[in-house]
Amino acid sequence: MYGIIRGKSVILGVCGGIAAYKSAEILRLLKKHGANVRVLATRNALHFIGRHTLQALSENPILVDLFDEGPDASIKHIRWAQEADLVVVAPATANLIGKFANGIADDALTTLLLATDCPIVIAPSMNTKMYENAATRRNLEQLEKDGRWIMPPGSGALACGTSGAGRLPEPAEIIDYTVDVFTPKTLAGKRVLVTAGPTLEPIDPVRFIGNPSSGKMGVAAARAAAHRGADVTLVLGPSNIPDPPEKSISVIRIKTALEMRAAVLDHFDDVQIVVKAAAVGDYRPVSPREHKIKKIDDQLTLVLEKNPDILMELGKLKKDQILVGFAAETQFLEQHAADKMNQKNLDMIAGNIVGLPSSGFSSDTNQVTFFYRDGTSETPPLMEKYELAHLLFERIERRLHVT
């Protein structure tokens, strides 16, 4: 996942706070996603996490003092600063934030922060009173004005026994935020509508007709679009996935195909790109029962009626929008996907092999073929849904010339 940081040079700054133990997991995740990580820790950080842990996980020497690492140590932080693609300081203490906001450079980390041109992510972590203190607020505002990326802290129980804002977010959330910062904003100014998940068509108050869509593909598409700078409306069918944390994604939760249709039509005029990854129920029970159906008869006949084909409607309504569909197929992928693209007046369709454990419904990875209106197609390798979503938007930008 998160190929955007693969091969990049990332500096992880670690300050002295109880949350420093989480830096080991942040480091592990950065490495897992292919980044080359170097660690700069403050002296106080080493009271909370061992030098050897950071060293072993990063597979690089760590830097603490300006003069403690051999003959070139006093310039190593400058070389690292120049070579860095991205700096993440997590946890960042009030002390570090205060020093950086005021241009103080009295150890390896603060010196590197002043010496680099690359994006810097600061993940504050401290006691709530310290976080809310006027001095800390002022310093954080200053850093934001200076173009640094300040990740909002979490709220909850803190190690000091109090509760409130100031918790270091979970390592995975820090990685997500970092990936967002690092992604070029190629869709800035664009509005994107994404549908995701299944629809559930009620039979009675406790039963429904549904499908195994988890929402992962569509949510990945929404997040990738947001990370590329778009404002996203995500129409999400019943799914266990929590609302994505990105502020630029507004989520509309729906249950049925008719509710999805209403939400999609409500927003269609305002967007430039639509990606329909949802698995919409093609049929619904004609008259859902008001009360639970009792198990009396040996057979039960359900009469179903066709749901509207939302994408087909959009294809008729579309002006200069880009319409991208998905086609879930178990056989004859090329034929069925191409037919759907033509019938629904789409610009592109991702033909999706389903029924394999590693592709389609519920899996974290997906295998698709992209079909284009000019008759060409391409089959990227099996990949994580988030990476596939980026590839999809890259193709929309490059091949469909989104304007």
One residue of 354, 383, 396, 402 binding ligand PMT per CB under 6 A: 354
Site size toward ligand PMT (CB under 6 A) is: 29
Contact 194, 326 (CB under 8 A): no
State whether residue 225 is helix, strand or coil.
Answer: helix
Which of 340, 341, 390, 402 binds ligand PMT (CB under 6 A)? It is 340
- Torsion-angle region of residue 144: left (phi > 0), alpha (psi -120 to 50) or beta? alpha
Among 95, 321, 352, 369, binds ligand PMT (CB under 6 A): 352
Q: Which helix (H) or strand (E) holds 201?
A: strand 201-204
- Is 279 a binding residue for ligand PMT by CB under 6 A? The answer is yes
Cα distance between residue 92 and residue 110, in whole Å? 11
Exactly one of 287, 330, 343, 362 binds ligand PMT (CB under 6 A); that residue is 362
Question: Taking a C-beta distance cutoff of 8 angstroms, is the pair 82, 111 a contact?
Answer: no
Residues 6 or more apart from 370 whose CB is under 8 A from it?
A: 348, 349, 350, 351, 377, 378, 379, 380, 392, 395
- How far apart, in whole angstroms, are the C-alpha atoms of residue 271 and residue 10? 35
- In the complex with ligand PMT, the residue whose CB is nearer, 125 or 213, is 213
- CA–CA gap between residue 325 and residue 345 (Å, rounded): 10
The CB density around residue 94, as the number of other CB atoms within 10 Å, is 21
Question: What's the min distance (Å) between Cβ of 277 and ligand PMT?
Answer: 5
Q: Of 131 and 361, which CB lies nearer to ligand PMT in the complex structure?
A: 361
Among 168, 236, 271, 278, binds ligand PMT (CB under 6 A): 278
Check: CB of residue 64 under 8 Å from CB of residue 33. Answer: no
User: Is 213 a binder of ligand PMT (CB under 6 A)?
Assistant: yes
118 as an active site residue: the answer is no
Q: Which long-range contacts (CB under 8 A, 24 or more apart) does 51-55 make?
A: 53/24, 54/14, 54/23, 54/24, 54/27
Applying CB under 6 A, does 149 fall inside the site for ligand PMT?
Answer: no
Rounded Cα distance, 252 and 234, in Å: 6
The CB-of-343 to ligand PMT minimum distance in angstroms stands at: 10
Query: Is there binding between residue 217 and ligand PMT (CB under 6 A)?
Result: yes
**By the rule CB under 6 A, 228 interacts with ligand PMT:** no
- Does position 237 interact with ligand PMT (CB under 6 A)? The reply is no
Among 179, 311, 341, 396, binds ligand PMT (CB under 6 A): 311
**Closest separation in Å from C-beta 39 to ligand PMT:** 35
Query: Which one is catalytic: 56, 75, 135, 160?
Result: 160
Q: Does 310 bind ligand PMT (CB under 6 A)?
A: yes
- Verify binding: residue 167, ligand PMT, rule CB under 6 A: no
The DSSP line for 297-314 is SS-----EEEPP-HHHHH
Q: How many Å apart are CA 190 and CA 75, to the nearest integer?
A: 43
The nearer residue to ligand PMT, 113 or 222, going by C-beta atoms, is 222
Q: Is 42 in the site for ligand PMT (CB under 6 A)?
A: no
Query: Closest distance between ligand PMT and the C-beta of residue 348, in Å?
Result: 11
Among 280, 323, 353, 389, binds ligand PMT (CB under 6 A): 280
327 binds ligand PMT (CB under 6 A): yes
The residues that are catalytic are: 160
| Interface residues toward ligand PMT, by CB under 6 A | 195, 197, 213-218, 257, 276-280, 282, 307, 309-311, 325-328, 340, 352, 354, 360-362
